[in-house]
Structure 1
């Protein structure tokens, strides 16, 4: 039987395309794999946020019984003299005199209430209330910090110790690891604070017990064949001024050399303790350093030292470095030559916290994931550098009237794109007072549908790639 040349060409081309796609799949499978995971080749993770590092918005009830909760550490207040009708001001922003001479309250007229820098008004004799310049009206401008510092100082040591003990024993349990295992989760990312290295008697006001809880988590993880990423969420002096970094008053003092040295000691402690544990997958050296307050060269120097410390104890543990939050390009860490192998860059993807997302529709949010996030992930995957972890993301947005179907679609789009990350992803967070942030609630109420295990490469992407190559072949060769 004679075959037409065109048919022969089509047959050969079809076989060539199939072989090409198979090679692509095998190549990508080999490149994007995470050693030590069960089943899937990449991380499908969930964060255990709000457990060993307190975040009041995750569990507000922790703060319910604090007397005078309006004046926790870091609360910002403005003081106005009743008789002078002038605001108290720190001249030149602080470090000089304090005066009562400003008509309008701004940053220099806003103070954090702290025990170490009390503002007092001394008056000889017996002051009156209404006709005395030393009588002030207090306006609370911001009361946003609800972390470990605020909880302990708010309750006092004894009561805070009892509250935190109950919280650590009940918020995350072995039953949660069973739930995660049943739903295909192979990794937990566990935020810890720097004081864990000094357990059971950490410096005041921090309270011991987090080390025992972390040990429990590793045991539970091992029992369910789940891996652990230890994430240093709160560093000495605070790396971003937020409550999840255990900031006292909103300041960012971590770049101080003494604080960096202390942080490296914490990494050494964690690496030496858990490096040989079969449940350890990696150690994240620092969570969300602020781009505004942490210079890149300072951060890179710390990351390089932290990498070497982990390598001193393990050649297999992944070392994870977090992108700076704010105005920073993740490529800055790819160009830093931090470590030679098993290095991961952590990106946090939220369609929140920025005015850019405020007026977006459901469709706009999903298109942004496809057009911006997918393009960035593909660029980083091909950058011939560290692996990529989407270490925090959530099935929540600024869309106020989203239906269950909208949430399902949003979650599906995020999973489809974040599955492209060469190391994997981790949802923020397992339990939360706000339902859509709560992984367990999302799964049980069918707002987030995990579907099958992620593949190393999207099948549609391979088909498109093959089609493009076929088009090139037909146009340029035949």
Structure 2
């Protein structure tokens, strides 16, 4: 099954802040770890020998979103009152933008957060960062985020956690969404922006693909969520993937570094020809983002139907993962449902049954029935990913609503450790 394409003009994350944003700072998480050993990529599906596939193992990860690229719905404390729509306009128009960014970078994500993540069984973090952290020439963007990426890699190493560096924003914006750094026009494939992107990736690969980082930095994502409509041509995107892969491999001393390409909303099966073309074995991977909250069709589902749809992702993930490492780089616990007192669910953001509750309500008010329904959905997704992919990354470590990993651990809608199950066998996996 192909992943549903996101229609043009639709962001892949909320464009406005939900009712309440909960901070994870100060939360104490249980120091539990999975009892089972960590499998290799696709333990049952791998087509390569152990000698060929010296992988970092199955990645159970969390995104560090809203840290090194601002997202208004996640970073209202930084952006509120400035009139900025993204990091481009924030850097351009806010007089004290640099000091605000420095304060944000220093406090939003810390080594204590890495330790808390590790305590839940998380063994990897995906860190979004913008191109301007490495080259902000002729742009208003403020440099400095790369120093904090460096800190994060050190924190991860200390905790035994792997790092995936994600180029979340490239010159010209690959999707026009605020999380690319610049909302609006999509100019990534215009002018010199593709070559500039590759030059930046070569810089990143030369540094983080060095042997001194090989114990921790296991993946480099070429580009996050390039759209496949409007001003982006799919053939140009695929040619970029080939050229950028070859450039990264030439620049990186660590040949075990996995180079990852987002599926451009085409589904992972659309990329299965690439490993052979690139002669990369298990070193070219694909990243797909699986959400059930943005389309009208998804908004019409009750929670049982959301779970059934999640279980249905198995086939496409498994078939792609046999050919190349296939990751779910983003997913969440968010759906548009309401829960009745008897535990049954309906689609929507409002309900009239006495005692019913909708997921759109404040997280602090969620009752046991709501927590149970979100947990069922999260566990079903985790089961599918564990069985059929090479790893997953929840969006995000802290965020509003059901996007908040730490809040999920504290409230109980995410299992702790992440390999534990309260609702096993929802998708037929024992």
Alpha-carbon spacing, 1:247–1:462, altered in 2? closer, same or farther (3 Å): closer
In the alignment, is the contact (CA less than 8 A) between 1:346 and 1:390 conserved in 2? yes
2 CA distance for matches of 1:32 and 1:178? Answer: 33
Match of 2:171 among 225, 228, 236: 236
Displacement, 1:330?
Answer: 2.8
2 CA distance for matches of 1:51 and 1:26? Answer: 33
Alpha-carbon spacing, 1:287–1:230, altered in 2? closer, same or farther (3 Å): same
What do you get for the CA RMSD once the two structures are aligned? 2.6
Name the structure with the higher helix share. 1
In the alignment, is the contact (CA less than 8 A) between 1:202 and 1:208 conserved in 2? no
TM-score by length of 1: 0.68
1:368-422 Cα offsets, whole Å, 9 max, x none, are 111x31222233234xx21110000001111142511111111111111111233
Report whether the alignment pairs 1:52 with 2:68.
yes
Report whether the alignment pairs 1:416 with 2:416.
no
Give the secondary structure class of the aligned counterpart of 1:419. helix
Give the secondary structure class of the aligned counterpart of 2:195. helix
Match of 2:221 in 1: 284
Match of 1:354 in 2: 295
1 CA distance for matches of 2:174 and 2:43? Answer: 41
Gaps of 5+ in 2: 1-41, 339-357, 360-369
1 CA distance for matches of 2:313 and 2:86? Answer: 31
In the alignment, is the contact (CA less than 8 A) between 1:32 and 1:42 conserved in 2? no
Gaps of 5+ in 1: 1-24, 73-145, 465-478
2 CA distance for matches of 1:181 and 1:231? Answer: 20
Give the secondary structure class of the aligned counterpart of 2:337. coil
2 CA distance for matches of 1:183 and 1:353? Answer: 29
Match of 1:205 in 2: 140
Match of 1:253 in 2: 187
Report whether the alignment pairs 1:318 with 2:318.
no
Alignment of 1:13-24 (within 5 A): none
2 CA distance for matches of 1:147 and 1:340? Answer: 36
1 CA distance for matches of 2:380 and 2:429? Answer: 19
Displacement, 1:65?
Answer: 3.2
2 CA distance for matches of 1:190 and 1:369? Answer: 25
In the alignment, is the contact (CA less than 8 A) between 1:310 and 1:317 conserved in 2? no
In the alignment, is the contact (CA less than 8 A) between 1:187 and 1:228 conserved in 2? yes
2 CA distance for matches of 1:238 and 1:194? Answer: 10
Match of 2:235 in 1: 297
Match of 1:365 among 306, 314, 318: 306
1:97-135 Cα offsets, whole Å, 9 max, x none, are xxxxxxxxxxxxxxxxxxxxxxxxxxxxxxxxxxxxxxx
In the alignment, is the contact (CA less than 8 A) between 1:348 and 1:390 conserved in 2? yes
Displacement, 1:289?
Answer: 0.4
Match of 1:91 in 2: none
1:5-58 Cα offsets, whole Å, 9 max, x none, are xxxxxxxxxxxxxxxxxxxx9854786987453xxx300011011111110101
1:38-85 Cα offsets, whole Å, 9 max, x none, are xxx30001101111111010121212232xx2xx5xxxxxxxxxxxxx
Report whether the alignment pairs 1:42 with 2:80.
no
2 CA distance for matches of 1:50 and 1:463? Answer: 34
How many residues in Structure 1 have an aligned counterpart in Structure 2? Answer: 347
